[in-house]
Structure 1
Amino acid sequence: MKLYSRYIFLILFAYVIKSCASNKAINSEKNNITVKTFTYKKTSNKTSLDLDFYSSKYFRGKQPLIIYVHGGGFSSGKRNDAFIKKFTRNMAKKGIAVASISYRLTMKKYGFSCNTATYLKINAFNSASEDISLATKFLIEKSDELNIDTSNIILMGSSAGAEAVLNLTYVYNNTILPNFKYAGVIAMAGAITTVEKITENSAIPTMLFHGVKDKLVPYNIAPHHYCKETSDGYLMLYGAKAIAEKLKELNKSFYLYTVTDGNHSWNAKPMILCVNEILDFINTSVIQGNFQQKNVVKKESSHNSKKS
């Protein structure tokens, strides 16, 4: 079945892999995408955590799946913002299902600044990782109904969501799915608390988008929000460059997309400007399983003429 899914994806992929500037859908009809909303977790305060599942009506066979986690400093953000819905529909039209999930926003009362205690920040990473794991478990259990290829489930996140998916991939002790390994991870302006847990066994194909001038989440190694060491919220983080260097050291696949004058807006811009780069990574590193270590270096000005 995985070979069948790979064959179909390669046919679809051939239509779209031109450049970052051209992100036209294979089928422009709006009604060829099915969107279903599911509750994957009931919380203790009688609220629920939901996900929106996007898939194409016309795709035959099991589909690769992206589980997308929105940003917002673990205190805000929505799974169904307009740019997210546009991206998820674009992916679905190209034969890749997407589940955009809600998760517990545990920092609503605290914020996520230098005054926020470090342990609360780490708890936020872990709470989100737990929720993503529960969403994954729910989707695996529904994989036959939803035509999901469980061998090709990819995590993707923006900002706080990127921190959450990287934390889940490389740091979090996952007792919910202890034997499950994601097929790949895509992080946009994300970071983790250590690279020492990226090992020969834990490493998976990893795509990293980051602006060097990001003042919130470090591109390389620096404190979260560049907080002073004496602040309550001091937390050393390892960003895209540090993660890529660790994967290079281990001789594992990665795709590092650096914007030399880019800021934290690169937590979302790839979903608009770099759809084909994302497809390239999914096709080459995840579905085909080919080894690649790719470094792309750009300036903001090189994206100015590109349209979504």
Structure 2
Amino acid sequence: MKYLTTIIFIIATNVTVAQTIYLDSVFSEVTKTTYNYGPKKNETFQFDFYVAGAVREKMPLVVYVHGGGFSGGSRDAEKVVGFATELAQRGYAVASVSYRLIMKDIGFGCDVESSMKIAAFDSASYDVSLAIKYILENSQELGIDQGKIILAGSSAGAETVLNMAFVQENEILPSDFKYAGVIGMAGAIKTLQEIDENRAIPTQLFHGTGDKLVPYNIAPHRYCKGNDKGFIILYGSKPIAERLKSLGGSYYFTTINDGGHNWAESSMSKGFDEIIDFLYHDVINVKTIRQTDRAINDL
């Protein structure tokens, strides 16, 4: 197994006996290890693997996919590192994944063919699936619970993970594999038709009603006009939540009134308590199916 290693140390407050793993910050030291994965020997990508303390058996894993319009962004940006570290301090393993940025130097606006946009969704989904395959194949060494792998992403990353969870057919992972949950921060998908009882996994969604890039409701991507090359109808967080509600599925939907696309990243910090609540009560320690609709004002 090829990997590069970096270790970071985070100093936290003293741990108390009453704290609960996966809910409270119970660890202080977090280790980040960078692994190589890829479809070919001469084409490799990386993911940063965060874990607190020594590797433990059967840890739940959050796979995070960064945003950037499929043309930029970074798996180790400052906000991503902070988000992953805080999750690890609560006992989660985190894999922050790099993927092919096939829209680099092309853009993602209304002058870009809609078919290329769909190709970007699928390309990123393919790459992230390869990273998960690598993790599954090495789950014992990494200490991962194969039944508790949660997808999470922001903006283009949210489009990627929602595509993986609800649209794309699985051609890479084991046929019986199923994601334990998905977190989409300002994301959307191209169709709701594939969301059925089998794919209605626990889902958390954050989206601002004033998002001008990725629609909150049902609308063209970036609100392109009908005659634009990049015209494609997307289904944002609101219709995804409504679909899950109709199926009796578990979801936690936060609407940010007048919120813009900046909530794709802001949700990692301003919505962190809600993310922990979702992970703990809807994925890790499920006692009942919850359907949560929450609205806040843009801050």
Output one character per residue of 1:128-186: Cα deviation in whole Å (capped at 9) or x when no partner: 11111111110011111011111100000000000000001111112101331100000
Q: Which residue does the alignment assign to 2:64?
A: 68
Q: Which residue does the alignment assign to 1:299?
A: 297
Q: 2:285 aligns with which of 274, 285, 288?
A: 288
1:190 is aligned to 2:166: no
Q: Is the Cα–Cα contact under 8 Å of residues 71 and 161 in structure 1 kept in the other structure? A: yes
Output one character per residue of 1:103-127: Cα deviation in whole Å (capped at 9) or x when no partner: 0101113210000001100000001
Please tell me the residue identity of whatever aligns with 1:100: S
1:231 is aligned to 2:240: no
Q: Which residue does the alignment assign to 2:155?
A: 159
Q: Is the Cα–Cα contact under 8 Å of residues 47 and 95 in structure 2 kept in the other structure? A: yes
Q: Which residue does the alignment assign to 1:210?
A: 207
User: Are the structure 2 counterparts of residues 161 and 40 from structure 1 closer, same or farther at C-alpha, using a change threshold of 3 Å?
Assistant: same
Residue 269 of structure 1: SS of its match in structure 2?
Answer: helix
Cα distance, 1:288 vs structure 2: 2.2
Q: Which residue does the alignment assign to 1:267?
A: 264
Aligned runs of 1:236-251 on 2, under 5 Å? 236-251=233-248
Aligned-residue sequence identity (percent) comes to 48
Residue 49 of structure 2: SS of its match in structure 1?
Answer: strand
Residue 190 of structure 2: SS of its match in structure 1?
Answer: coil
User: Are the structure 2 counterparts of residues 60 and 139 from structure 1 closer, same or farther at C-alpha, using a change threshold of 3 Å?
Assistant: closer
Higher helix share: 1
Cα distance, 1:280 vs structure 2: 0.8
Residue 205 of structure 2: SS of its match in structure 1?
Answer: strand
Q: Distance in 2 between matches of 1:150 and 1:102?
A: 21
1:221 is aligned to 2:230: no
Q: Distance in 2 between matches of 1:191 and 1:227?
A: 15
Output one character per residue of 1:201-223: Cα deviation in whole Å (capped at 9) or x when no partner: 11100000000000000001000
Q: Give the gaps of 5 or more residues in structure 2.
A: 1-18
Count of aligned pairs: 280
Q: Distance in 1 between matches of 2:39 and 2:146?
A: 24
Aligned runs of 1:85-164 on 2, under 5 Å? 85-164=81-160
Q: Distance in 2 between matches of 1:222 and 1:120?
A: 18
Q: Distance in 2 between matches of 1:129 and 1:158?
A: 14
Output one character per residue of 1:9-31: Cα deviation in whole Å (capped at 9) or x when no partner: x82245x3xxxxxxxx444x4xx
TM-score (norm 1): 0.87
Q: Is the Cα–Cα contact under 8 Å of residues 50 and 102 in structure 1 kept in the other structure? A: yes
Q: Distance in 1 between matches of 2:44 and 2:38?
A: 6
Cα distance, 1:58 vs structure 2: 4.9
Specify which structure has the bigger relative contact order, considering alpha-carbon pairs within 8 angstroms and separated by 6 or more residues. Answer: 1
Higher strand share: 2
Q: Is the Cα–Cα contact under 8 Å of residues 212 and 260 in structure 2 kept in the other structure? A: yes
- RMSD in angstroms over aligned alpha carbons? 1.6
